[in-house]
Amino acid sequence: MDNIHEPSYFFRGYQNDFPSTETSNSWLNQSLRVAQASTPFIGLYQPAGKLLAGSLGTLRSVTSLSKLLSAENTTAAAWESLNMALAVASLAGTLFAHPLGIFLTTIHDLGIHSHQLYLALAQGEGVEAAKQIGYLANHTLYLTIMVYGSLELQIASLAMQVLVEGIASYEEIHKGNWIEGAAHILMAAVRGNQFSSKVDTLRQKWALEEAIRNHFVGTLGDKWQFPSDHLPIGAVIDGKKVVSWNVLNNEYIDWVTEKDSQGLNGSMISDLDLPTATRGLTLRDQKVTEMIQAIIDGNADLVALQECGAPFLKYLESKLPSNWGIVRSFDTFCKDQDVILYSRDQFTYDPTRSETTLTAYPSVPNRPLQNALFEDAAGTVYRFINGHIPGDPNKPGTKEFAKYVSRFCNDDEVAIALGDMNFERHEMEEAYRYAGLSNYTLLSPWQTNIDPVTRMSKGIDHIFVKGAKSIETLFSKEIFGGNFNLEETIELLRKDWENQSTAEKALCA
């Protein structure tokens, strides 16, 4: 049940929670009608979801018990016993294993509406049968969303809810129940607005997927005038400029200069792979440091780096402004580590609530993951998880990373997970859904790397944000101030190189 998560909107068969409104007590009857009609609108306030689910689960359990005690025959008693068992199980799930309770409640609703559909068909009630079919489709979609979290399924679910609310309003008004009819009309309008918003989000998703889709780039060689095999990405989160960049450790540069795995030998990377007077430091390290200084001069507030070698870090630290700090994964000598640079004017680092864990990836023992906590002047807490996920596609690195991130997503902090994820956007989204995460933003603005097997461009550097008040993607020209060939290099990854020979394409396929 680890892959069950709460959808972005709260929904349940509210009518199955309440006792019958056909009572002899007129005042009680009216009160129940108003309560049942207004409850779905309370559920629109998502933070109230768990409390509302618990309250309605209790009410459903009491209602089921009441129906069981008043059952007129053995068949009815057996049915109500099953209803009560499911209601109690759903309530327990809500209280002790949320959102399992919502999952069980939805299954219970499916059973109830299946029974009601059977009765409607048996009695020849066409409108009622259509309504029950709509409810069944609705709950089925909602159940599926809890497992897969698909945006397309959410749109289908909301469209079905608009349809069902419309049928229900027609039925209630036809019966003269104006309170219920008006409530259904208003809820149809609300769900229609949510539907429209999700459609807009889907359009944005399609546009993003088009922007980061893979292109065959073949051997770029000297066309690549950039000092790393990864391109940086950035965002403005709550007004703070954040950049992430895998700067390419010299320990791994033979993948470019000797193995030429990505077709980048002869590029700026290999051209600047020359020693300086400082042992272990290269001209490329100095170029990367110059570019990081440009990021800082461009009013950045935090820079997350991956693949940092020891000589490079020593040189970089000597060039940092006095009001900037550095958080290393390890204080002792390490040939490769991830680090975070930050402006002390914007952030205060809290080492007591930070860590570099060696257990985040059970499939790759001792693989480090940096987790640093900062606080701004307003008291807002930001947790930055600076990751470099193991790239083996046969191991569950993405899911292990997402599961670790999910542990630090709470209402008290803004969670930001960024870095070289080694996997593409759809793979990271699948991992976050698997970890039960929802209502987050995942920024993947452009292709950032070249696949060594296929020579296709791919976007594998991402920024995950949950809990922030505002999030904007940085344009490429905003990262370095329009310098250092970033925009031109992005364009290299966004076009198919027709001058590559058919033989080379076949070799890389």
- The string of pLDDT tens digits covering residues 465-475 is 999 999 999 99
As a whole number of angstroms, the distance between CA 253 and CA 312 comes to: 13
Backbone φ and ψ of 231, nearest 5° = -100, 145
- What is the band of 506 on the pLDDT scale with cuts at 50, 70, 90? very low
- Quick check: helix, strand or coil at residue 468? coil
pLDDT tens-digit map of 171-226: 889 888 888 899 899 999 999 999 999 899 888 888 878 888 889 999 999 999 99
- Average pLDDT (26-36) is 76
CATH number of the domain located at residue range(s) 212-503 in this protein: 3.60.10.10
User: What confidence score (pLDDT) does residue 68 get?
Assistant: 82
191 contact partners, CB below 8 Å, separation of at least 6: 158, 161, 162, 165
Tracing tokens 């018990």 back to the chain, one arrives at: 65
- Strand residue runs (E) in 323-380: 324-328, 337-343, 348-349, 355-357, 369-375
The reported pLDDT for the residue numbered 3 is 63
pLDDT over threshold 50, residue 276: yes
Q: Cα–Cα–Cα angle for 220, 225, 226, nearest 5°?
A: 110
> In angstroms, rounded to a whole number, what is the distance separating the alpha carbons of residues 24 and 232?
70
Sign for the CA dihedral angle at 354, 358, 361, 362 comes to negative
Residue 295 has what pLDDT?
97
| Percent above pLDDT 90 for the chain | 56
How do the domains of the chain map onto residue ranges? 14-209, 212-503
To which H or E segment does residue 491 belong?
helix 486-492
Instruction: Give per-residue pLDDT as tens, 92-133.
Output: 877 777 778 888 888 888 888 898 899 899 998 887 888 888
- Spatial distance between the Cα atoms of 420 and 231, rounded to a whole number of angstroms: 10
Give the DSSP H or E segment for 82: helix 74-96
| Residue type at position 345 | D
What is the structure's pLDDT at 501?
46
Predicted local confidence at residue 436, as pLDDT? 82
Residue 509 has pLDDT above 80, yes or no: no
Q: What is the mean pLDDT of residues 80-84?
A: 83
Q: How far apart are CA 132 and CA 198, in angstroms?
A: 25
Does residue 203 sit in helix, strand or coil?
helix
- Percent helix, strand and coil across the chain, each rounded to 5? 50, 15, 35
Q: What tens digit of pLDDT does each residue of 290-343 get?
A: 999 999 999 999 999 999 999 999 999 999 999 999 999 998 888 999 999 999
Q: Which of 119-133, 154-168, 277-291, 492-506 has the highest mean pLDDT?
A: 277-291
pLDDT given for residue 352 in this prediction: 97
| Per-residue model confidence as pLDDT tens digits over 373-394 | 999 999 999 999 999 999 999 9
How many angstroms separate the CA atoms of 15 and 31, rounded?
A: 14
pLDDT, averaged across the chain: 89
